């Protein structure tokens, strides 16, 4: 708790980013987009970023990157993130991200970067051949957050290590220069209940990289595809349990109940109270109806929005201008602290 003390001087501000790497799915919606939309009502200023510069740490086809950046923006808006209330933009349009990332490249230590599990996973055995950007990735992420003096960062569990590194960078910068300039950011880690698992294997996360399209519900799937994927989802032969404890050791059943609860804004207890004892032959159609009712409007809104790329580009440009109003003075002050002649 002692670390939260320095933040007393900072206005609460939420920042989060998602890579425009394609194939938005139900996991992204329930684990990120829907939560972002819900958090807007709390009245805290929220900044959401399509991190296109993070995406190119591994090869991206330029046309696909552009399309996916617009599609992700449409996904945010279709999920209920209001581009007027929140700030919605793509990273490369606010050059302060790259500028602060360079300063942080000079604050962070090689050893910190090489310890990151995501670096080890993504670079694999062939580290010599990975891009330098992939190694430096967490310094850019720290810059994303700190260039807004963001205090709260909602992310999935897998990003926790990068947020700890963000704190380390802020602490070292503040110490090195004898200032109290960057806040010590609080991670807002998503609860396990919103970890959406694969429809083919309840022990694996639903993921865009799963080779089986039946393992995930894409936000672009139509009603038939959604219903079919739920009907064919893997389950065990038992009916749903009468109590929440009965879901333990039944990963597929638990996943479907969790999805139902998250989509309906109910607790798992409430879902079990209503559906406990049902066979999957009964529960799956209810879940399919619910999923179609909730997701179909999102997918059609995404279609409508992506049909007009110019409008999306206008939203991103406007968001970038607003983002820049916050980032530019913080960047200026950073240069001054570091000793750059301005
Ligand atoms: P990714 O698709 O891995 O780039 O993740 C983008 C965002 O969606 C991050 O905030 C993740 O934590 C979230 N996310 C991705 N997959 C899942 C999942 N299966 N369940 C819950 N959240 C997810
Ligand atoms: N690294 C995050 C991911 O892969 C994306 C990201 C980039 C991010 N910058 C961020 C998330 C800043 C939160 C805050 O999911």
236, pLDDT greater than 70: yes
Give residue 192's pLDDT: 52
Q: What local confidence, expressed as pLDDT, does residue 2 receive?
A: 39
Spell 248-260 as b/e; 16+ CB within 10 A means b: eebbbbbbbbbbb
- Mean per-residue pLDDT for 95-103? 98
Which atom of ligand 1 sits closest to the CA of residue 206? Answer: 19
- R_g (Cα) of the chain, nearest Å: 21
Whether residue 211 has pLDDT greater than 60: yes
124: left (phi over 0), alpha (psi -120 to 50) or beta: left
The domains located in the chain, with CATH, are 13-194+308-338 (3.40.50.620), 213-303 (1.10.240.10)
The half-sphere exposure of 1 on its side-chain side, counting CA atoms within 13 A, is 0
Average pLDDT of the residues in 18-35: 93
Query: Does 17 contact ligand 1 (Cβ within 6 A)?
Result: no
Would you say residue 193 has pLDDT above 70? no
Cβ 90 under 6 angstroms from ligand 1:
no
Q: In what order do the strands lie in the sheet with 87-90?
A: 87-90, 45-50, 13-18, 152-155, 186-189
Cα–Cα dist 136/253, whole Å: 40
pLDDT at 157: 82
User: Residue 334 — left, alpha, or beta (φ > 0 → left; ψ -120 to 50 → alpha)?
Assistant: alpha
Alpha carbon of 291 to ligand 1 centroid (Å)? 18
In this predicted structure, the answer to whether residue 27 has a pLDDT above a threshold of 90 is yes
Atom 12 (ligand 1) nearest CA: 156
Cα 242–chain centre separation? 34
Encode pLDDT of 260-297 as tens digits.
999 999 999 999 999 999 999 999 999 999 999 999 99
Could you tell me the distance, in angstroms and rounded to a whole number, from the CA of residue 19 to the centre of ligand 2?
7
- The residue from 34, 205, 229, 284 that is catalytic is 205
What is the pLDDT at residue 59?
Answer: 96
* Ligand 1 closest atom vs CA 16: 10
Q: How confident is the model at residue 6 (pLDDT cuts 50, 70, 90)?
A: low
**Which of the following is catalytic: 122, 172, 204, 234?**
122
Stated pTM of the model: 0.93
In the DSSP assignment, the letter for residue 148 is T
The reply to whether 294 belongs to the active site is: no
């Amino acid at each position: 708790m002692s670390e939260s003390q320095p933040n007393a001087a900072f206005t609460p501000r939420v920042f989060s980013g998602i890579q425009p790497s394609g194939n938005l799915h139900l996991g992204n919606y329930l684990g990120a987009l829907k939560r972002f939309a819900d958090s807007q009502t709390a009245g805290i200023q929220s900044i959401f970023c399509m991190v296109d510069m993070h995406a190119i740490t591994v090869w991206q086809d330029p046309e696909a990157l552009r399309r996916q950046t617009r599609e992700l923006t449409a996904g945010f808006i279709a999920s209920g993130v209001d581009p007027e209330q929140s700030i919605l933009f793509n990273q490369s349009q606010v050059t302060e991200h790259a500028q602060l990332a360079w300063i942080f490249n000079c604050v962070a230590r090689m050893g910190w970067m090489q310890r990151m599990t995501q670096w080890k996973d993504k670079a694999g055995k062939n580290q010599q051949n990975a891009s330098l950007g992939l190694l430096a990735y967490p310094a850019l992420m720290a810059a994303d957050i700190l260039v807004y003096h963001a205090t709260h960062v909602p992310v999935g569990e897998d990003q926790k290590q990068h947020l700890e590194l963000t704190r380390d960078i802020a602490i070292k910068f503040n110490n090195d220069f004898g200032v109290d300039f960057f806040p010590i950011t609080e991670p807002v880690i998503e609860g396990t209940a919103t970890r959406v698992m694969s429809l083919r294997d309840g022990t694996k996360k639903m993921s865009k990289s799963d080779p089986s399209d039946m393992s995930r519900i894409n936000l672009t799937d139509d009603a038939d595809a959604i219903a079919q994927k739920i009907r064919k989802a893997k389950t065990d032969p038992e009916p749903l349990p009468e109590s929440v404890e009965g879901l333990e050791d039944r990963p597929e059943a638990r996943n479907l109940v969790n999805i139902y609860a998250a989509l309906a804004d109910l607790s798992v207890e409430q879902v079990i109270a209503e559906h406990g004892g049902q066979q999957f032959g009964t529960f799956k159609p209810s879940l399919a109806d619910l999923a179609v009712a909730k997701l179909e409007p999102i997918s059609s809104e995404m279609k409508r929005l992506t049909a007009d790329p110019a409008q999306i580009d206008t939203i991103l440009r406007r968001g970038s201008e607003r983002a820049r109003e916050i980032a530019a003075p913080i960047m200026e002050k950073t240069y001054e602290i570091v000793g750059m002649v301005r």
